């Protein structure tokens, strides 16, 4: 799944001409979350890592007042006049980069004319943060080309804002953070309330991470996701009548009794229970990894999925089939959905010697049960968003 830079450059010159002026090359990864799902917007812990595949961007400034956007993943060119503020276009992939350019503009950092060519090797809509990857590659490019000198943390926040305000997905900060701050061979232990973070080496020994794509077309993800967020807000509101809290992650499993006492709506109660127990599990899982107890880490991954299935109700037949059938196979240490859910991918830890059989068997069972064809990725853990090659330097 590696982008071919020479091919991308050829396409760039075919689209925009003028081979004498080299574009600048940027790259940004996708991410997989190991545990800590739907905790980020509840002020909790997450434990994601950046992948070694992502989005590549070639960009060149022009002296016209136009943004020209092309992608090898989507047909057609979009041309937008440089402006003080921009408007989203319904259902267009360009909302991700333009949302970020808009966020820069709102902060007084204006783009020149630009010719941009994107190429992503993260499957779209698979819950591996192709959106955050496009946003962050645009942010690092804008930062470099305008000389704005922003810190990574500012770009992460601006990209999240772009996704919330421009795209209309009320996401938390996890994806943009993981994509921005990723580090090779490490997962990131992030406190989404304080934004304090630590890198944890991901030493799985003779086991491998396996990502399995349900290949289910996700439809209503944004609206369902936003609905879960409101349910959590409602839980905070109801609990706060008795004990003021800012977010659900202030509570621990010792406080679970409050849910029965203070929340009369059984659905809202279940949602809150997921968040509180998941936050607890995430901390336990990080400790387990630190003490090299991968078996326990896997068990907590399994429990995380159960909670996302029964309490948070964001899984569905496809994800559940991969997870519950996968667990029966030899060598599987832990397996769960990753990302927002409602389709997308699972992440599993599997003993290396069993990986081939795992993929073969699960693929058969999944197709038999769902009629869909699963895809498998054996990712490495990569670095975060960055410039790869400045203008003028030839590869
Ligand atoms: C999506 C969002 C993240 C996070 C996850 C669920 O990926 O973009 O902010 O909420 O879902 O953990």
289 assigned to some structural domain: no
**What CA–CA distance (Å, rounded) separates 15 from 10?**
9
Residue bearing tokens 């007042």: 65
213 assigned to some structural domain: no
How many structural domains is the chain composed of? 1
pLDDT tens per residue, range 166-188? 998 899 999 999 999 999 999 99
- Residue 374: alpha-carbon gap to chain centroid: 20
pLDDT over 90 (residue 42): yes
40 lines ligand 1 (CB under 6 A): yes
Whole-number Cα distances in Å, 288 to 37, 49, 102, 390: 17, 17, 42, 42
157 assigned to some structural domain: yes
Give me the chain's average pLDDT, please. 95
339 lines ligand 1 (CB under 6 A): yes
Phi/psi for 243 (5° steps) reads -140, 105
76 assigned to some structural domain: yes
Of 41, 340, 346, the one to substitute when testing ligand 1's pocket (max ligand atoms within 8 A of C-beta) is: 340
pTM: 0.96
41 lines ligand 1 (CB under 6 A): yes
Find all residues with CB under 8 Å of 333, minimum gap 6, and list them. Answer: 207, 294, 295, 297, 298, 301, 348, 349, 350, 351
At residue 158, the pLDDT reads: 98
20 assigned to some structural domain: yes
Residues noted as catalytic = 175
Query: What is the CB neighbour count within 10 angstroms for residue 215?
Result: 18
Q: What is the CATH number of the domain that holds 134?
A: 3.30.230.10
Quote the ligand 1 centre to 212 CA distance (angstroms). 18
Whole-number Cα distances in Å, 173 to 82, 113, 243, 304, 307: 28, 29, 26, 20, 21
341 assigned to some structural domain: no
| DSSP-derived pairing of the beta strands 345-351 and 207-213 | antiparallel
Quote the ligand 1 centre to 169 CA distance (angstroms). 10
Q: Are residues 102 and 85 in contact, defined by beta-carbon separation less than 8 angstroms?
A: yes
175 lines ligand 1 (CB under 6 A): yes
Find all residues with CB under 8 Å of 37, minimum gap 6, and list them. Answer: 46, 278, 304, 308, 312, 336, 337, 338, 339, 341
257 assigned to some structural domain: no
pLDDT over 70 (residue 90): yes
Query: What is the CB neighbour count within 10 angstroms for residue 390?
Result: 10
Quote the ligand 1 centre to 172 CA distance (angstroms). 6
Give, for 207, the enclosing helix (H) or strand (E).
Answer: strand 207-213
Comparing 217 with 278, which gets the higher pLDDT?
Answer: 278
At residue 124, the pLDDT reads: 83
Quote the ligand 1 centre to 14 CA distance (angstroms). 37
37 lines ligand 1 (CB under 6 A): yes
174 lines ligand 1 (CB under 6 A): yes
What is the residue with the minimal CA distance to atom 8 of ligand 1? 171
184 assigned to some structural domain: yes
Domain containing 146: what range?
5-199+381-389
What is the residue with the minimal CA distance to atom 2 of ligand 1? 171
- Residue 297: alpha-carbon gap to chain centroid: 21
């Amino acid at each position: 799944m590696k982008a071919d830079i020479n091919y991308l450059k050829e396409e760039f010159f075919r689209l925009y001409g003028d081979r004498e002026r080299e574009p600048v090359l940027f790259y940004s990864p996708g991410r997989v979350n190991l545990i800590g799902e739907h905790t980020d917007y509840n002020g909790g812990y997450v434990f994601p890592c950046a992948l070694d595949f992502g989005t590549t961007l070639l960009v060149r400034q022009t002296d016209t007042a136009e943004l020209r956007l092309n992608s090898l993943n989507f047909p057609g060119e979009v041309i937008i006049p440089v402006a003080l503020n921009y408007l989203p276009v319904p259902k267009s992939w360009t909302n991700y980069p333009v949302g970020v350019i808009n966020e820069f503009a709102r902060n007084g950092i204006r783009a020149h004319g630009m010719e941009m060519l994107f190429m992503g090797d993260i499957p779209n809509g698979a819950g591996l943060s192709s959106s955050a990857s496009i946003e962050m590659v645009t942010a690092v490019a804008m930062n470099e080309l305008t000389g704005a000198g922003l810190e990574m943390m500012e770009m992460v926040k601006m990209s999240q804002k772009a996704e919330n305000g421009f795209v209309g997905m009320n996401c938390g900060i996890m994806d943009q953070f993981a994509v921005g701050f990723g580090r090779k061979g490490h997962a990131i232990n992030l406190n989404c309330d304080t934004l304090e973070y630590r890198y944890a080496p991901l030493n799985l020994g003779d086991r491998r991470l396996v990502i399995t794509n349900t290949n289910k077309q996700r439809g209503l993800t944004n609206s369902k996701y936003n609905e879960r967020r409101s349910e959590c807000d409602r839980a905070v509101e109801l609990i706060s009548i008795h004990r003021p809290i800012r977010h659900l992650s202030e509570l621990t499993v010792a406080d679970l009794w409050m849910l029965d006492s203070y929340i009369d709506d059984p659905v809202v109660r279940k949602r809150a229970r997921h968040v509180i127990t998941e936050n607890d599990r995430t901390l336990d899982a990080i400790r387990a990894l630190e003490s090299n107890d991968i078996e326990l880490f896997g068990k907590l991954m399994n429990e995380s999925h159960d909670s996302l299935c029964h309490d948070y109700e964001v899984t569905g037949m496809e994800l559940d089939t991969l997870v519950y059938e996968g667990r029966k196979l030899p060598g599987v240490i832990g397996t769960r959905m990753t990302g927002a859910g409602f389709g997308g991918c699972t992440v599993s830890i599997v003993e290396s010697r069993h990986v081939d059989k795992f993929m073969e068997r699960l693929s058969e069972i999944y197709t038999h049960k769902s009629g869909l064809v699963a895809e498998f990725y054996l990712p490495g853990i990569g670095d975060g968003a960055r410039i790869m090659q400045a203008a003028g330097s030839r590869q």
